[in-house]
Structure 1
Amino acid sequence: MELSELPECPVCLQPYDGEYTIPRVLTCGHTACESCLSNLPQKFPQAIRCPACTVVVKLPPQGPSLLPKNIDLLRLITASPLQNPPKPVDKRSNDLHVSFLPRLWSSDFYSIWKDYVLPEHTVETEKVSAFSVGSLLCGGDSVLKVALVVRVMDCLSGMGEEEREELSLVLRFYKKQNDRICRVLGLCGDFEDGFLYLVSERGKNSSSLDKLGDFKEADLFSFALIAMEVCETVSVLHKEGLIAGCIGFSCFQSDEFGHFHLDLTEVLKMGRTVRKVVLDMVSSSKKRISDEDIEALLTELSKRDVFVSPEVLFEVLRKEGYDTECSGLRYSVGYGSDVWLIGCILFRLLIGEQFGVQFVDYLHHVILKASEDNGLDCSGICMSLLEKESTLLSTKFGSEFATLPLILSKSLDIDPQKRPLATDIWKCIRELVSKSQFDTMVALDGTRCEKNGGQCLVVGELCRLPKERMETLEKDDQQGAESNGLGDCDHDDDAHGQSKLVDGLAEGNIKSKDLQGHLDCVTGLAVGGGFLLSSSFDKSVKVWSLQDYSHVHTFKGHEHKITAIVCVDEEKPFCITSDSGGGIFFWSITVPLGQEPSKKWYEQKDWRFSGIHAMAVSENGYLYTGSGDKSIKVWSLQDGTLSCTMTGHKSVVSTLTLSDGILYSGGWDGTIRLWSLGDHSLLTVLGENTPGSMTPVLALGADQHILVAAHENGSIKVWRDDIFWKSIQIHNNSIFAIDMDGQWLFTGSWDKTVNVQELVGDDFEMDARHVGSIPCHSTITSLLFWEGKLFVGFADRMIKVYYYGK
């Protein structure tokens, strides 16, 4: 007989030849070559997973060479092997899981932003400066209390790309120790007012520049140090590609040593103040903005000690939709825009409150001249500002420091290209406190920035104020800009932050329905034959419709409290229930439903016996029961005979679950034992050397390569590919119920809460995301997730079904 294609190893895809690729038969009946079987990973002693069916099978102690050869395959091999045999078709399952909640953002998006989210109740409002960046939509009447990180991720995903990019630029300073920029702590959600805040560190005893008085002759050294630090903060900002665009005294905060740092959240709030002044002073119906309007705006802002360069204000107006083409002040926003701010700050420190009057006069002349001649050199007009206080300045500087007034005057040139760099101003000021021969020893760190380029915060989307929300802002915006507490920060509904969730997670779209009928604690839930079935301590099994959740039927017959229930969906589906007296009952769930069990039997009792606590059914026709006598019994589904008894636990076997050819058993001894479904031998024991106390295991959940154990102390332990990954405290008390489906993990506890976790990751990293919690009225005793619906059984006899929908 001639083959159309040769038999080949399912691992290496090489044809069997009896010499190099020897076919060896595993106990499950499948065949693989001896070489591949030797190289397969052995996570359990003398056991491997079959590469064909993934069932765990035993290996001889000497290795796969002692397994029998597949003689029939060797006989079929012809002398002329086929060339390039086709590779087998990938038959991986394409089954789609129905999610309890829609996936709102990708794993990559979550991994980028998750570290910026601060845990709840960790921010002391008196120690931070906060800036609202979006709205955290409330859950409305939803029964699901959505986790903070989920609401933050939704807010961020609803932002525009430009807005998120600006936020990420500011977050570059996240927990970064910098000599001149206040440390950005991250993103903080406030559930009381429903806003997401960007928060930065503020010293307990910090003060701003506006607390300083006019400098006298004796304070020359102090002025120089402060002025240099102002220049340094701007230079550091420019090195990170950021342009402040506007600035004020409150943006500078001092530490316990008296050094001043730039607070980026205050800069953003000041940028929002600029936008509000623009919208307050300029009529929305006005189409064209004159130079006089810009002068008026700059004058109003300077009265508030808010400094913004003309070109930045010009760009803000353009962003707000005003026609500014007639203005003679059209220049590009760049790093030179912040040099204008340095000049305003230093002049204000030197001259004091009189600077405001003189600055308004300067603005009038320079804007008037700029309208007539864009190429105007404004240094002469700016010097006239200094001449009005010439006596004071000569007293402070003296003739040898004449270059300082000159370079400061250039910083207020109407053309940004003619302004000096921040580093040049720094070097000039340093001459007040050091000799020029030390210039080579001390220099401002960093390369010189080009005058154009960079991201300007004020003209960006973060500082944007939606006009329809103006009436809700504080009337005194200056006071709001200087506020420290979260509750006093500017409140705005970002246009993007108001975007609705993809499918309404935070809109209140997790609903519930009550199922009533049991007279005692609900102990188990299962789906089979197109019905929902529930067991109870009231010794009955109730059948419910999955269409309208109405009560359909009740099975009665147990003489003891029912402790567990499982369903088998075959051609003729049935369910199995067990009780505290050792009874095992089979019930047909084929319509019409009967009154009597189709068959039943009882476990043998002894003095240690305390009934059956858990059950599981395998596809190979066996029923497994975990009992109070510390054993696991294996029963044939065909005739109910006892096939074998598996021992090893040192206390009650409280939970059983099946996955990928392995039976997992958990006990009150705190361990989890793995058993082969092929020969029912022990593979390994988990939990004996796991960090943490050996608390009883009350429930197990397994899905593909993930195993989760729920413990009496409210914690879960997670294994990935049978290797311990993490222990997480997710409840305040015992976890009685657990269920898994794909990435979704549900846990129910004595603390009357259902927690929802999402387990995501790849071969290299895994993460458990807290999605939210469902506060309940009673202790949760059973859970079942089925086709996007969560069924919950309670100790007070109630069953609730939670589902996503409007």
Structure 2
Amino acid sequence: MELPECPVCLQTYNEESTIPRVLACGHSICESCLVELPQRYSTTIRCPACTQLVKYSAQQGPSSLPKNIDLLRLCLEHPSSSNVSQNSKDHSAKNGDDQHESFPRFWSDELYAAWKDWILPHDVVSIESEPPGLEGLALGPLLRGRFISSSSLNGRVCIKENQSLSLAPIASLPPFNHSKLRLSYESQIMICLEEMKEVQRQELALFLKASMKQNRICDAYGLWSDLVDGHLYLVCARHNGSLAEKSGELRSGFVGVAGDSLNRDGFVSFSMIGLSICEALFALHTEGLAAGYVGLSCFCFDELSGIYFSLNEALAKGRKVRLDVMDAISSGTCNIDKQEAICEYVFKHENFISPEGLFELLPKETITLENGFSRYPVGYSADVWSLGCVLLHALFGDGLPRYALEMNEEKKGFDLLANYICWVERVDSLLEDELGSEYLLLRQTLRKCLEIDPGNRPDVADVRKCIWDMLIKPPFDVLGNLEVAIDRNSACCCLILGELCQFPQDPSKPQRECELQDKEGGDSPNFVVDRKEKPGDFVGGLSKEMTEVKDLRGHLDCITGLVVGGGFLFSSSFDKTINVWSSQDFSHFHTFRGHENKVMALVYVDGEEPWCISGDSEGGIFIWGVTSPFGQHPLRKWYEQKDWRFSGIHSMVVSRNLCLYTGSGDRSIKAWSLKDGTLMCTMNGHTSVVSTLAICDDVLYSGSWDGTIRLWNLNDHSPLTVLEEDVPRERKAVLSIAVNRHLLVASHESGCIKVWRNDLFMSSKELHSGAIFAISVQGKFLYTGGWDKKVNIQELTGDEFQLVVNSVGYIPCSSVVTAILCSQGKLFVGFADKSIKVYHWNR
């Protein structure tokens, strides 16, 4: 037999440490846990079993509550079973509403948590110009950008305003056209990340991690898109020019104005540059990244002439290398011509890619002759080959020998290996002539960088140590033993062979077909996801192909309320009527007429005899029967007592015990018995119109134009607490509230919402540019509508310590939104122009 235990500590009740005390809601909690439970307000506590707010005095403590004698007697009768309680059982009750999400998000929580902080706000980056001749190329040019404001970054990254940036496209945004839903900026980027290959996201994560950890790699600030050209960009810092732009100036500094051979002063200058290049490349290798291709433009200078490795430049130039290889292949008419073009490419335009890297990029059918390159893997040593070429170019500039091509008569073609060996010998001869015996170690090291076998090449650390030892003579070298080598056999991510170096799909191609037409009359495009339907896909659920919109017209004035029940949709209006619509085909079924004034509030009561209850602007309360056949007259009606302050009923809600609560213009909340229409109680406290009411867990929530939200105990109608009471007097009116178990959401006249979790304020966010008249919560999603003619869709995520309001998108509307209801997998929206729209899944 399982003995009763405390729902908090899971300990069996006893007469000493775990005495059960009965709360007003009927649940029992042990004394020790009652003392430890957080108390948000001085006179109330939230029951951990049912989450209901109940009265509790912290000053009097648990002793003010009665003991549960029956539980104690049961435990004392079975003392031997006191240790049998299974404390390991899961007592956490799951919220059924949270499990039901009519429109679930289409990316995982893990994906959002990993990438949300890397998404830069749309308004902080401005594209300046594109390089001439590169506009719109599929490979994606390296764009110039500028931070125009850092106010939206919330301290995530340290960036100066008007700082120059480099933007490298890493993916294409999914194509969107014609839709009822306009995705938010953040949602479009998250869709793009979700649809990227896992290996692409892993490579991107490596880039961002490397930029954060290594100060020799240009800072990566995050991901950004202007949503116009359809690309997602990696945003990095842009420094003062690259090694390619200053190569001529550096060459003059090494050999002097007269162009003599390398002297001691020139060697010192060359050594400082070489050390910085090696350190930047070593930083890349430390993070498990290999470029596979290193050009002069991959290294840039900062304000103090320090050299950094630019990930964006490496991406852009790597894509250019891939295109040049394809051009070289396509330029030949036969295999011999193709191999000649490939050989010419090796040093064309200073594109320093290792032989094994070059042959890794080639289609296998183009390699017809035996060669000594294709059998080697591409790894860290490929960067060493490129590093050697970069240092050689820094020393000799245009004097560096070009690749010579000689026909092999025996093979009737080009002997690639023989030509390469010949070129290396010419380079070695140049090194001997220019450097002589004084720089023998440097000459030997550079020569080894060009070895055919990557295993015979030195590491980047070895190249740096060679330059360091020649710059600082060994007797004075105190840092030589601090070198750290990279395991050349360890796995690495090769940038030029990776997925990110592939060409992003050009979003301007015809299949995207972004038509900038707005059927609602706006100027911005409507978006839809052009992909196959996915079960539970939120965007798919609101797209044109998978969601239908039914336009219901029958009222003659503004819509004021929407409720669903009994297979019907009920709508109220300023035209003094309540229309009844079929929830199956949304055809008009009936009209209740009888009010002599504007109908302001509407509720549905699901019981043995279902009712629809309406309240009007003169205090009239009408109860309508909703069983077929529908009658023409109300079952009962009565009126609130009027006085000079009275301005009618503004809100209504019904409790489980069939008690009707009305919020009035006289600042009061009245409780009515639905059995006979008698007034049971009047609750006073608000100082202005009670505009909205909601009930959850036997607690009544009331919002008012006075800017406060009050909580009332439904058992005795006593006040529990007041939210926003301490806010300055310029607070804006509360127009609507929604309660979903632990969450309370309130909308304000100012266009912002405020969210509480378990009575603790969590978040505030401005969603609309005007008053928010209606809100609805379904699962994790919040739907809001108001003056700016939009239905905004937000997702509420987080835990008990933090709550985040994420924008999913918005539905453009042609009129002011006055009522919203999300129920049964459908979204019902009422407008000031007398219409109702129903967004429902087209199954």
Output the TM-score relative to the length of structure 2. Answer: 0.82
**1:65-101, CA deviations, whole angstroms, 9 ceiling, x for partnerless residues?**
3444556667778845673677799675656755343
Q: How far has the Cα of 1:744 moved from its partner?
A: 0.6
Residue matched to 1:113: 115
2:103 alignment partner in structure 1:
101
Shift of 1:33: 5.1
Q: In the alignment, what sits opposite 1:206? A: 241
Q: SS where residue 122 of structure 2 aligns?
A: coil
In the alignment, the residues of structure 1 paired with residue 712 and residue 393 of structure 2 have an alpha-carbon distance, to the nearest angstrom, of: 79
Q: 1:12 Cα shift?
A: 5.8
- Matched residue of 2:662: which SS? strand
Identity of aligned residues (%): 48
Which of 317, 323, 327 is 1:270 aligned to?
317
Mapping for residues 479-498 of structure 1, pairs under 5 Å: none
Which of 450, 453, 463 in structure 2 is aligned with 1:412? 450
Superposition pairs of residues 56-135 of structure 1, within 5 angstroms: 56-59=53-56, 62-69=60-67, 79=77, 83=81, 94=96, 98-125=100-127, 126-127=144-145, 128-135=165-172
Amino acid at match of 2:110: D
Contact 1:745 1:756 in 2 (8 A): yes
Letter in 2 for 1:694: R
Matched, 1:231 2:278: yes
User: How far 1:792 sits from its partner (Å)?
Assistant: 0.8
Shift of 1:345: 1.5
Q: Is the 8 A contact 2:581 2:588 kept in 1?
A: yes
Q: What do the CA deviations read for 1:642-677 (whole angstroms, capped 9, x no partner)?
A: 111111112221111122222111112211111112
Query: Given residue 382 of structure 1, which amino acid in structure 2 is its aligned partner?
Result: V
Q: From the superposition, tell whether residues 79 and 428 of structure 1 become closer, same or farther in structure 2 (CA, over 3 Å).
A: closer
* Cα deviation, residue 743, structure 1: 0.3
- Distance in 2 (alpha carbons) for counterparts of 1:423 and 1:498: 50
Q: Does 1:248 align with 2:292?
A: no
Computed over aligned residues only, the root mean square deviation of the Cα atoms, in angstroms, reads 3.7
Residue equivalent to 1:401:
439
> 1:98, 1:788 within 8 Å by CA — same for their partners in 2?
no
Asked if 1:358 corresponds to 2:355, the answer is: no
Q: Contact between 1:611 and 1:627, CA under 8 Å: does it hold in 2?
A: yes
CA distance in 2 between partners of 1:525 and 1:39 (Å): 43
1:276/1:465 contact within 8 Å kept? no
Q: CA deviation at 1:638?
A: 1.8
Give yes or no for contact 1:135–1:498 (8 Å, CA) kept in 2: no
Match of 2:793 among 746, 751, 756: 756
Shift of 1:15: 6.3
Aligned residue among 43, 46, 52 for 1:46: 43
Give the aligned partner of residue 384 of structure 1: 426
Map 1:116-515 to 2 at 5 A.
116-125=118-127, 126-127=144-145, 128-173=165-210, 176=212, 179-203=215-239, 206-213=241-248, 215-216=251-252, 217-218=255-256, 220=266, 221-282=268-329, 296-317=341-362, 326-329=370-373, 330-355=375-400, 357-360=401-404, 371=417, 382-388=424-430, 393=434, 397=435, 399-430=437-468, 435-440=473-478, 447-453=484-490, 454-465=492-503, 502=534, 505=538, 508-509=543-544, 510-515=547-552
The separation in 2 between residues aligned to 1:628 and 1:363, in whole angstroms, is: 98
C-alpha distance in structure 2 between counterparts of 1:548 and 1:586, whole Å:
26
Amino acid at match of 2:221: L
SS of structure 2 residue aligned to 1:566: strand
Q: Secondary structure at the match of 2:497?
A: coil
1:708 and 2:745 are equivalent in the alignment: yes
> Structure 1 residues 33 and 401 mapped into 2: Cα distance closer, same or farther (>3 Å)?
closer
Residues 500 and 234 of structure 1: CA distance in aligned 2, closer, same or farther (over 3 Å): farther
Residue pair 2:689, 2:705 contacting (<8 A) in 1 also: yes
* C-alpha distance in structure 1 between counterparts of 2:406 and 2:727, whole Å: 74
Deviations 1:187-229 (A, max 9, x none): 11232222222222214x5355244327232272544333332
Given that 2:372 and 2:417 are in contact with CA atoms closer than 8 Å, whether structure 1 keeps it comes out as yes
1:805–1:419 distance in 2 versus 1, CA, 3 Å? farther
Residue in 2 that maps onto 1:613: 650
Aligned to 1:488: none
Deviations 1:229-272 (A, max 9, x none): 22221111111111011122332333344433222122122222
Question: What's the CA shift for 1:786?
Answer: 0.7
TM-superposed deviation, 1:155 = 2.0
Q: Alpha-carbon deviation of 1:564?
A: 1.2
Residue type at the aligned position of 1:502 = K
Contact 2:173–2:507 (CA under 8 A) maintained in structure 1: no
Check whether the contact 1:634–1:642 (CA below 8 A) recurs between aligned residues: yes
Contact 2:332–2:338 under 8 Å retained in 1:
no
How do 1:720-735 and structure 2 match up within 5 A? Answer: 720-735=757-772
Q: Which amino acid aligns with 1:710?
A: S
Q: Secondary structure at the match of 1:143?
A: strand
The answer (yes or no) to whether the contact 1:586–1:599 under 8 Å persists in 2 is: yes
Give the distance between the partners of 1:14 and 1:168, measured in 2 at CA.
46
- What is the DSSP-based 3-state SS (H/G/I as helix, E as strand, rest coil) of the residue aligned with 1:144? strand
CA apart distance, 1:369? 7.9
Mapped to 2, the partners of 1:684 and 1:361 lie a distance apart of 88
Q: CA 1:263 to 1:444, structure 2 compared with 1: closer, same or farther past 3 Å?
A: farther
Alpha-carbon contact 1:520-1:795 (below 8 Å) kept: yes
Q: Aligned pair count?
A: 763
Residue identity in the other structure for 2:42? P
Query: Of the candidates 41, 52, 55, which is equivalent to residue 52 of structure 2?
Result: 55
Aligned-partner residue type, residue 192 of structure 1: V
Does the 8 A contact of 1:143 with 1:511 survive in 2? no
The equivalent of 1:743 in structure 2 is: 780
Structure 1 residues 298, 651: CA separation in 2 closer, same or farther (over 3 Å shift)? farther
Contact 1:252–1:262, Cα closer than 8 Å, also in 2: yes
Tell me the alpha carbon deviations over residues 326-347 of structure 1, each in whole angstroms, 9 at most, x when there is no partner.
5421112221111111111122
Tell me how far 1:308 sits from its aligned partner. 0.8
Paired letter, 2:113? S
| Alignment check: 8 A CA contact 1:181 1:261 kept | yes
* Partner secondary structure for residue 191 of structure 1: coil
Unmatched segments (≥5 aa) in structure 1:
474-496
Q: Report deviation, 1:532.
A: 0.8
Paired residue secondary structure (1:594)? coil
* In 2: Cα distance, 1:769 partner to 1:531 partner: 32
Q: Output the CA distance in 1 between the equivalents of 2:283 and 2:739.
A: 51
Q: Please, what TM-score do these two structures have when normalized by structure 1?
A: 0.85
| Shift in CA distance, 693/333, structure 1 to aligned 2, threshold 3 Å | farther
2:140 corresponds to: none
Is 1:583 the counterpart of 2:620? The answer is yes
Alignment of 1:538 with 2:585, yes or no, is: no
Q: Secondary structure at the match of 2:123?
A: coil
> Alpha carbons of 1:471 and 1:516: their partners in 2 closer, same or farther (altered >3 Å)?
closer
Structure 1 residues 285 and 716, CA, compared in 2 at 3 Å: closer, same or farther? farther
Measured in 2, the distance between the counterparts of 1:36 and 1:553 equals 55
- Structure 2 unaligned runs (5+)? 128-143, 146-164, 258-265, 511-528
The reply to whether residue 636 of structure 1 matches residue 673 of structure 2 is yes
Determine the C-alpha separation between the residues in 2 that align with 1:730 and 1:765. Answer: 19
Letter in 2 for 1:55: Q
